[in-house]
Amino acid sequence: MSRNPFDPGPGDLPDSIPVFPLTGVLLLPRGRLPLNIFEPRYLNMVQDALATDRLIGMIQPRDDGMAAEPPLFDIGCAGRITSFSETDDGRFLITLTGVCRFRLLSEIPTTRGYRRAVADWSGFSADLDEDGPSHIDRDRLDTALRTYFQQQGITANWDSIAQAPLDRLITSLAMICPFDAPEKQALLESPDLEARARLLLALVEMAIHQGGDGEGGSLRH
């Protein structure tokens, strides 16, 4: 997938960004993530992001507990708000387009309710380039996907899947497939598209072999 010319370059990435912790939600570079924003603190976050660089970091909590501020995984992905609308009942509908992964170094206290992190972008400069080729066996992937989607009760437009560029397909599948949080995190932390494609196929085939129990594979990260 080609890089968006409106996205920041390496020298434009900020020292800190607001972060939106969501379990099981994955954003990848050049992926598109629609979000329905309704909590007051996240309405504040979106308003503040729109007033500055439009960047928000998606990151997973390390557990599903009820703590107000659960510990976060070390690595997330920043997305730029590329679509925005308001609703009559006070919600924001936004789309984040993935820009670059980051490592969370520390958190900064805020007065607007949402969390903010000091971000280390080093080691992820390749995210700002176009994806390289993936040599995954597409026929094998297609066969596995058909079985996996059937087990999971997922409907798909197979003509569109067949015509999709492989890099876009891998990114979309990694984001939408119902893997569990550690598996989502492993996909995020894969060093490149090639490694992510191999892991995605392994997770799909693992889930098939386990009988499509809806819990993904057994990978822990």
When pLDDT is cut at 50, 70 and 90, the band that residue 4 belongs to is low
Rounded Cα gap, residues 31 and 99, in angstroms: 8
Instruction: Give Cβ neighbours of residue 118 (< 8 Å, ≥ 6 apart).
Output: 15, 16, 104, 105, 106, 107, 108
Instruction: Check residue 218 and give its pLDDT.
Output: 36
- 100 pLDDT band (50/70/90 cuts)? very high
Q: How confident is the model at residue 215 (pLDDT cuts 50, 70, 90)?
A: very low
Q: What is the mean pLDDT of residues 107-124?
A: 95
Residue 150 backbone dihedrals phi, psi, to 5 degrees:
-65, -45
Report the pLDDT value the prediction gives residue 66, as an integer from 0 to 100: 66
pLDDT for position 3: 59
Q: How far are the Cα atoms of 78, 85, 131, 162, 176 from residue 120, in angstroms, in the given order?
A: 11, 30, 21, 37, 26
Q: Is the pLDDT reported for residue 90 higher than 90?
A: yes
Tell me if residue 196 falls in helix, strand or coil.
helix
pLDDT at 220: 37
pLDDT of residue 185: 97
Looking at residues 23-42, what average pLDDT do you find?
A: 96
pLDDT digits (tens, 9 = 90+) for 125-177: 999 987 776 788 999 999 999 999 999 999 999 999 999 999 999 999 999 99
Backbone angles phi, psi at 195, to 5 degrees: -65, -40
- Indicate the domain borders of the chain: 10-128, 138-209
| 10-128: CATH topology | 2.30.130
Q: What span, in angstroms and rounded, lies between the C-alpha atoms of 188 and 29? A: 9
pLDDT tier for residue 221 given thresholds of 50, 70 and 90 = very low
pLDDT score recorded for residue 68: 73
Look at residues 86, 66, 91, 73 and name the one whose alpha carbon lies nearest to residue 20.
Answer: 73
Phi (first) and psi of residue 217, to 5 degrees: -90, -160
Mean pLDDT, residues 35-51: 97
Are residues 84 and 59 in contact, defined by beta-carbon separation less than 8 angstroms? Answer: no
Across the chain, what does the average pLDDT equal?
Answer: 90
Phi, psi (deg, nearest 5) at residue 20: -120, 100
